Amino acid sequence: MDSNPERHLFLSPHYDDIPLSCGGTVTSLAARGVRPEIALIFGDYPDPDAPLTSFAERLHDEWGLAAGEVIDARRAEEAAASALIGATDIYLPFRDAIYRGSSYVSDELLFADPVEAEADLPQAIADALDLSVPAGGDLHVYAPLGIGRHVDHQVAFQAGRLLHEAGVRVRFYEDLPYALETPNVTRRMDDLRGQVEKAERVPVEEVWQTKIEAIMAFPSQVGVIFERYVGVQPTRPAISDAMHDYAVAAGDGVAVEQFWKLTDR
């Protein structure tokens, strides 16, 4: 265990985001004796009194899950992945965009600007987090950059910004697999021009297979997020190759996970 206690809190919009984007970093931290925490932001159960939209039902079909089993099944996937990378899961009381009424009922709306009615949601997320710091130690928070522009990732980015403004050390991770598509990265960096800069690069070659094993612990999701959104075949070799190529390019020949920070501090 580190003599200087550290707390590492990863903000995860959905159940698979941290293994995908930071799985190597989390695994490396755990190997040092740190116990990384994953705060699942938008993982609460749908309102049982509200009918599901046809869009939500279509996604459930693509995931191969019945409406009544989606959350429990996805939590089981998350638990399996977190056990592999050495993380602890924390569940926040917020629902996925597809369960928040009729605001997000298509891919076009899901990957666009969050609706104005949710302007207070980032602050609610920030307020819901336990930000206690170990005695004599440090708190490190990680939030998504919002690459790919999924509304939940954008909201989580804004929550990270609010924490930064409150004096918390926040690093922003590159949302994978969305970042595999260069136009997604370009578009988001244009959105954030002058606001963020590269901070750290964490080598992940030694823990690469653990990261991939954790990604494959989400069988309900790998087909949708890789094949539909970034055109990668949802097999372990194809996923590993595509992700590794990205990691090596980011590390100038060494596989890394790359983190960013806001430029005003």
Domain map (residue ranges) of the chain: 6-262
* Confidence label for 162 from pLDDT (cuts 50, 70 and 90): very high
Measured CA to CA in angstroms, residue 179 lies from 22, 66, 191 at distances of 13, 30, 15
Average pLDDT (53-62) is 96
DSSP state of 44: S
Residues 36-48: b if buried by 16+ CB within 10 A, e if exposed:
bbbbbbbbeebee
Q: Are 145 and 105 in contact (CB under 8 A)?
A: no
Average pLDDT (102-128) is 97
Q: Are 199 and 174 in contact (CB under 8 A)?
A: no
Task: Evaluate if residue 233 carries a pLDDT over 90.
Answer: yes
Does this model's pTM top 0.75? My answer is: yes
pLDDT per residue as tens digits for the range 16-38:
999 999 999 999 999 999 999 99
CATH class name, domain 6-262 = alpha beta
CA pair distance 82, 87, nearest whole angstrom: 5
DSSP state of 130: -
Radius of gyration of the chain (CA): 17
